[in-house]
Amino acid sequence: MTTVVKTNKKSCSCLSCELRELVFSSLDDEDINIVCEAREERAYARGEIIHREGDLIHDFKYLKTGLVKLYKSTNEGEEQIITITRPLEFVSNTNAFHEERYRYSLSALEDSVVCCVRIDLIRQLILRNGRFALNLISLLSKTSENIISLSLEIRQRNLAGRIAYVLLYFSNEIFKSRIFELPVSRKEIADLISMSSANVIRTFSEFRRDGIIKANGRTIEIADIQKLEVISRRG
């Protein structure tokens, strides 16, 4: 279950939080303390839903640790995965400033910790701290841009190209390693690249046969990165 981690108010941990630099770099110590007292850290186990589309937006949320997927449920009960991302991308917050409710659901692919600050407080900070506002605009833009860019990259490729791209994405962006534990099922990869899970699996098998990857369940090793890059480029 979700665990609420109590913040120790005596020594505000935000002051030295490694993430302060990225999100709250423009706040002075006084404002940081206000945020710190208002914030709430929530821990989610792998598989837990952080919020559902349609839920009211109360908080500005950012991922401190873990890995999450942002997705939308289609009419047919399928999931469309929009992005899979590490800290510090505010995946769920792009619409927090112009809508009342979440448009997309967010769930934890690994055990994750989310830091939550009431959205009203963030609004107040924007109102009185221009540097914070500018910083935030930049971060939100980057988040949206990443989502848009991913969708453009995916849609210009065929099945094999999409899988190659996704494998390189996990390897380069998410895990920074050629060997990694896939955080998603084959079905979820299918939901990310808009292909059928059967064909995703088939392509994995082909890549394995061709010596491009070594796959054992969710453990993936990229064996021939050049070949994979070629497939990703011309696919």
Residues that bind DNA (CB under 7 A): 158-160, 185-187, 194-199, 201-202, 204-205, 215, 217-218
Residue 180: phi and psi, rounded to 5, are -155, 165
**With contact defined as beta carbons under 8 Å apart, do 78 and 31 qualify?**
no
Is residue 13 within the footprint of a copy of itself (CB under 8 A)?
A: no
Residues 152, 176, 216, 217: which binds a copy of itself (CB under 8 A)?
152
Q: Where are the alpha helices (DSSP H) in 29-173?
A: 29-38, 119-128, 130-155, 159-169
Which of the choices a copy of itself, DNA, none does residue 199 contact, using the CB cut-off of 5 to 8 A by kind?
DNA
Which of the choices DNA, a copy of itself, none does residue 140 contact, using the CB cut-off of 5 to 8 A by kind?
a copy of itself
HSE-CB for 84 with a 13 A CA cutoff: 23
Residues 6+ apart with CB under 8 A from 180: 170, 171, 174, 219, 220
Is residue 205 within the footprint of a copy of itself (CB under 8 A)?
A: no
Please tell me the distance from the alpha carbon of residue 192 to that of residue 81, in angstroms, as a whole number: 5
Is residue 34 within the footprint of a copy of itself (CB under 8 A)?
A: no
DSSP one-letter code for 7: P
Residues 17, 32, 38, 140: which binds a copy of itself (CB under 8 A)?
140
State which of positions 87-106 bind a copy of itself (CB under 8 A): 94-99, 103
Nearer to a copy of itself, 93 or 220 (CB): 93
Is residue 121 within the footprint of a copy of itself (CB under 8 A)?
A: no
Please tell me the distance from the alpha carbon of residue 158 to that of residue 164, in angstroms, as a whole number: 10
Residue with tokens 């934890």: 108
Q: Encoding tokens for residue 45?
A: 């186990």
Residues 4, 15, 137, 179: which binds a copy of itself (CB under 8 A)?
137
Is residue 80 within the footprint of a copy of itself (CB under 8 A)?
A: yes
Nearer to a copy of itself, 124 or 177 (CB): 124
Nearer to a copy of itself, 82 or 115 (CB): 82
Nearer to DNA, 140 or 168 (CB): 168
Q: Which whole-number Å values give the CA distances from 211 to 87, 99, 217, 224, in the listed order?
A: 32, 48, 16, 7
Which of the choices DNA, a copy of itself, none does residue 177 contact, using the CB cut-off of 5 to 8 A by kind?
none
What's the alpha-carbon Rg for the chain, to the nearest Å?
Answer: 19
Please tell me the distance from the alpha carbon of residue 41 to that of residue 139, in angstroms, as a whole number: 20
Per CB under 8 A, residues contacting a copy of itself are 72, 74-75, 78, 80, 82, 94-99, 103, 123, 126-131, 133-134, 136-142, 144-145, 147-149, 151-152, 155-156, 194, 233
